[in-house]
């Protein structure tokens, strides 16, 4: 179905109707692979919490509140439960091997600490890390990594993993599931910024016997 257009109200002095063109698709700000790696490189190896925090945010496309809400009980049998915000679909995900190594290091650094949240605040006891703290930390590391100024917001990691997964050949429906989108229209904005999958499928079509040929010319 094509894009709908809105009709302007009738002018009292005329019966003509004016078409209002739909606004252009919103731009997606994301980081390329090398920029994400540069970001991780500036986080000190001794800071186990922050290394794990941003790894989880990137790999599972988390919003700040979603990362802060992760509890230790959400980690079980090599899987992690993500509670999605903004009407998203919550679910259980396998823990990436690199994430698992960071997790072991971080939990070991906590020792016998039994506070319920995975990412704890260093100032407020049993409370989870705050979204504003996550924002401040990302800004600091993004500056150290010399990332583009307009991409120094933690939400850029959610956009980045979506684009990277599509570049890796994931179908839009798979990315929708991974990000917890309820509506695939929210996922399709990422398809608009990458054509790698399209190029790959085109190459496959060239070799397929299922596509009709036109030998008239």
Tell me the per-residue pLDDT of 59-69, one tens digit each, with 9 for 90 and over.
999 999 999 99
String of b and e for 163-188 (b: at least 16 CB within 10 Å)?
A: bbbbbeebebeebbbbbbbeeeeebe
Q: Please answer whether residues 194 and 163 qualify as being in contact, where contact means their C-beta atoms are separated by less than 8 angstroms.
A: yes
Average of per-residue pLDDT values in the chain? 84
Do β-strands 75-76 and 19-20 pair in parallel, antiparallel, or remain unpaired?
Answer: unpaired
CATH of the domain at 175: 1.10.443.10
Instruction: Confirm whether 51 is domain-assigned.
Output: yes
Instruction: Confirm whether 77 is domain-assigned.
Output: yes
Residue 124: the pLDDT is: 66
Q: Which of 39-53, 76-90, 165-179 has the lowest mean pLDDT?
A: 165-179
Calculate mean pLDDT across residues 196-202. 70
Instruction: Confirm whether 1 is domain-assigned.
Output: no
Calculate mean pLDDT across residues 81-104. 96
Instruction: Confirm whether 174 is domain-assigned.
Output: yes
Please count the CA atoms within 13 angstroms of the CA of 185 that sit on its side-chain side: 5
Helix (H) or strand (E) holding 157: helix 155-167
Instruction: Confirm whether 214 is domain-assigned.
Output: no
Instruction: Confirm whether 197 is domain-assigned.
Output: yes
User: Residues with Cβ < 8 Å from 8, sequence gap 6 or more?
Assistant: 17, 18, 19, 20
Instruction: Confirm whether 213 is domain-assigned.
Output: no
Instruction: Confirm whether 9 is domain-assigned.
Output: no
- In tens, the pLDDT along 107-120 reads 998 887 778 999 98
Domain that holds residue 95: 33-206
**In this structure, is the dihedral angle defined by the CA atoms of residues 141, 143, 147 and 151, taken in order, positive or negative?**
positive
Residue 196: the pLDDT is: 67
Instruction: Looking at mean pLDDT, say which of 2-16, 52-66, 201-215 comes out highest.
Output: 52-66
Q: How many domains does the chain fold into?
A: 1
Distances (CA, A) of 105 to 50, 95, 130, 192: 12, 15, 22, 38
Single pTM value for the model? 0.79
Calculate mean pLDDT across residues 152-171. 93
């Amino acid at each position: 179905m094509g894009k709908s257009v809105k009709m302007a109200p009738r002018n009292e002095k005329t019966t003509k109707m004016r078409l209002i063109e739909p606004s252009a698709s919103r731009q997606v700000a994301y980081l390329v692979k090398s920029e994400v790696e540069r970001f991780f490189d500036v986080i000190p190896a001794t800071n186990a919490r922050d290394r794990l925090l941003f790894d989880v945010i990137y790999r599972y496309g988390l919003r700040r509140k979603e990362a802060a809400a992760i509890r230790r009980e959400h980690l079980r049998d090599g899987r992690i439960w993500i509670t999605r915000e903004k009407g998203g679909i919550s679910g259980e995900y396998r823990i990436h091997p690199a994430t698992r190594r960071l997790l072991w290091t971080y939990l070991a650094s906590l020792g016998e600490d039994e506070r319920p949240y995975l990412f704890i605040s260093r100032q407020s006891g049993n409370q989870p890390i705050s979204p504003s703290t996550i924002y401040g930390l990302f800004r600091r590391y993004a500056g150290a990594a010399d990332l583009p100024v307009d991409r120094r917001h933690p939400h850029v990691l959610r956009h980045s993993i979506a684009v990277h997964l599509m570049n890796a050949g994931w179908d839009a429906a798979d990315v929708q599931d991974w990000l917890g989108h309820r509506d695939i229209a929210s996922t399709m904005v990422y398809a608009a910024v990458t054509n790698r999958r399209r190029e790959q499928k085109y190459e496959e079509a060239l070799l397929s016997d299922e596509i009709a040929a036109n030998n008239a010319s």
